[in-house]
Amino acid sequence: MQHDKLERMQYLVDLLREASKAYYAQDREIMSNREYDARYEELQALEQETGVIFTDSPTVKVGYEAVEELPKERHESAQLSLDKTKDRVELQAWLQGHQGVLSWKLDGLTIVLTYQQGKLTKAVTRGNGEIGEVVTNNARTFRNIPLSIPYKGQLVLRGEAVITYSDFQRINSQIEDVESRYKNPRNLCSGSVRQLNNEITAGRGVRFYAFSLESGEDMDADNSRMGQLAFLAGQGFQVVEHELVTEETILEAVERFEGKIPTYDVPSDGLVLTYDDIAYGQSLGRTAKFPRHSIAFKWADELRETTLKEVEWSASRTGLINPVAIFEPVELEGTTVSRASVHNISILRGLKLGIGDRITVYKANMIIPQIAENLTSSDTLEIPSVCPVCGSPTQIRQVNEVQSLYCTNEACAAKRIKSFTLFVSRDAMNIEGLSEATLEKLVDRGFIREYVDLFHLDRYKEEILEMEGFGEKSYQKLQDGIDMARKTTLPRVVYALGIANIGVANAKMLCRHFNYDLAQLEGADVETLSAIEGVGEVIATAFVAYMHDQGNLERLHRLTQELEIEVPRIQEGSQTLAGMSFVITGSLAHFASRSDLKELIEQKGGKVTGSVTGKTTCLINNDITSTSSKNKKARELEVPILSEEDFLERYDIRQS
């Protein structure tokens, strides 16, 4: 059967991918070369037999490409949202004697896919329902979308792009700065699908679950939603988990779905009920906002009443002080809950909180504890006028109509601990053996007050050896890590400083622009920095403010005296593109991404910008005859348009 063959194919894809990862990345073998070849040939044969090729199959290689913006496209039919209910009896009555299909309401990003002649030709986000963004190149990197299917007519289907909880946790675990971690899988998925560089999308593990067939010709199961889902599954798509229900069976089915929530790895925020009879559903028409063929069921929040005991104020590296409600423990969705974030001053004031108030709490999406309502509304809670960590004055600041509380003391211990955590992280100074808990102990004991102190911890060897968790071996490992960190690069140092909005990529870009000269970086002004492609006024202002602070400069100079900062060697005569400006557009053949070509140009002294001007040396575009806006602009300004190969040949560039 087709279903069994597709399951076997997915098993082989996963097995071969794991074998390749073990062999190439982990220096170990989980199968012999002969066995690998046999499984590979079996997969190839099944792909030919079924007409299905998955995006993550080792038999295909998806090229990576960066674009400057995502094109917009109007949907052929409006992609409407659904009416909602939280009442199970209302959901049951909605069927009105008809059969329905009950499925998960997945919490990700809705995508519309188009296939022609068995090939994926287009992927468009739902957008505002009328116009979406074209993300075809990104969709080709989703874990489980088939690039080829056996059906050769035009096929349009709708589904949800998601990132599983396990992949979400994996990605967040690789980000050492806690404050920089992603907040939830849905936001991460939305950002991943809409990336301008699909190599980033590929690393996020996005998956696609089909949930409806929009159009397709000459299919036997056209009038049955169940039949259409079975057809899509037969084409190689993973379809959303679903079952056929009636008024008599739907309540039990809802309970079955509900029981799976604690272990279900795919984010969802409810269920969807659709009439199985498609013609009947369509005959019902639509309201101004919703179609009448489907309805969403949102889980009724399990509310518990409790008493607010206190509000804890938690300070961060940026100075933001977050309110956290502490209440009498209650049982919610099978776990004991006693605290919930209140997020900011605006929400806190809206709840009119006071110690001793009776409040109701729930779990948003059955996961995150939240305050639903304040039954007392005493509004007696005092917002701290001083920081709970350092005792310095606080300040309420408003950004986009949201008020938040900040500590005004730049030397606040909480800020220092968080900043030290970033400083020692992998992408910064990469000092092993210094967890946030250990750093907190070192700060509390006065061993470290600024970054340079980390390189003089040997002064406190005896005291550190007496700290819990430390012995001669762990102490020596820490010292070895510190000694290794002394030899570093300027981008690592700049990122480690924790300047607002200066991430790893921005740090590299700034250092490269100023020829890895710290003095030039320190003296740069806002106007100069803002003119750098990709910087902008916000980043420039924050950077200049940091570098023009005398205390920051003194601390930075004390730090650099302890470091051996490597400067990339620029070979004599290698700056062959100095003073030239280039624009790159379209797909590339000789480079994995535009970033790689950009880096090569910059290494040779050239500059890459985003738009064609009279100062542009040439536009690099493999599609010379394109009528794109950049090509038009280049022709108007008489700027040469060169293909990749012509560019490499004209400027005598040899790839390493």
Closest CA to 655 of 592, 610, 607: 592
- What is the pLDDT of the chain when averaged over all its residues? 84
Q: In this predicted model, what pLDDT tens digit does every residue of 29-74 receive, in sequence order?
A: 566 666 676 788 788 888 888 888 887 787 775 554 545 567 788 8
Q: Which of 5, 105, 418, 632 is catalytic?
A: 105
What is the per-residue pLDDT for 24? Answer: 44
Instruction: pLDDT band for 219, please (50, 70, 90 cuts).
Output: low
What is the per-residue pLDDT for 579? Answer: 76
Which residue type occupies 122? K
- Checking phi first, is residue 578 left (phi over 0); if not, alpha (psi -120 to 50) or beta? beta
Confidence check: pLDDT of 217 > 70: no
Instruction: pLDDT band for 484, please (50, 70, 90 cuts).
Output: very high
Q: In this predicted model, what pLDDT tens digit does every residue of 390-410 receive, in sequence order?
A: 888 999 988 766 788 998 887
Across 430-437, average pLDDT = 84
Confidence check: pLDDT of 91 > 50: yes
pTM over 0.95: no
Confidence check: pLDDT of 572 > 60: no
Confidence check: pLDDT of 139 > 50: yes
What are the residues whose beta carbons fall under 8 Å from the beta carbon of 61, sequence distance 6 or more?
none
Across 569-587, average pLDDT = 76
Q: In this predicted model, what pLDDT tens digit does every residue of 266-321 receive, in sequence order?
A: 988 889 999 999 889 889 887 756 788 999 998 777 788 999 999 998 877 678 88
Q: Which residue has the tokens 């607002």?
A: 500
Bridge partner residues of 370 (DSSP): 362
Contacts 24+ apart (CB under 8 A), 404-411: 404/320, 404/321, 404/344, 404/345, 404/346, 405/313, 405/320, 405/321, 405/323, 405/344, 405/345, 406/318, 406/319, 406/320, 406/321, 407/315, 407/319, 407/321, 408/319, 410/551
What is the per-residue pLDDT for 27? Answer: 42
Instruction: pLDDT band for 624, please (50, 70, 90 cuts).
Output: confident
Closest CA to 605 of 573, 576, 572, 569: 576
The rounded distance, in Å, linking the Cα atoms of 117 and 267 is 33
Q: Which of 150-159, 177-186, 224-233 shows the lowest mean pLDDT across its residues?
A: 177-186
Instruction: pLDDT band for 80, please (50, 70, 90 cuts).
Output: confident
Q: For residue 614, what are its two tokens?
A: 């009279």
96 CB neighbour count, 10 Å cutoff: 10
Across 136-153, average pLDDT = 89
Confidence check: pLDDT of 593 > 80: no
More confident position, 611 or 231: 231
* CA torsion, ordered 627, 633, 635, 639, to nearest 10 deg: -130
Confidence check: pLDDT of 246 > 90: yes
Q: In this predicted model, what pLDDT tens digit does every residue of 104-118 receive, in sequence order?
A: 999 889 999 999 988
Which string of DSSP letters, residue by residue, matches 186-232? Answer: HHHHHHHHT-SBHHHHHHTT-EEEEEEEEEESS-TTTTBHHHHHHHH
Give whole-number Cα distances, 548 to 519, 544, 589, 646, in Å: 12, 6, 44, 45
Could you give the 3-state DSSP secondary structure of residue 366? coil
Which residue type occupies 631? N
Confidence check: pLDDT of 25 > 70: no
More confident position, 537 or 392: 392
What is the per-residue pLDDT for 57? Answer: 81
The rounded distance, in Å, linking the Cα atoms of 494 and 484 is 18
What is the per-residue pLDDT for 215? Answer: 80
Outline where 318-371 has alpha helix (H). Answer: 345-351
| Cβ atoms of residues 317 and 422 within 8 Å | yes
Active site residue 105: yes
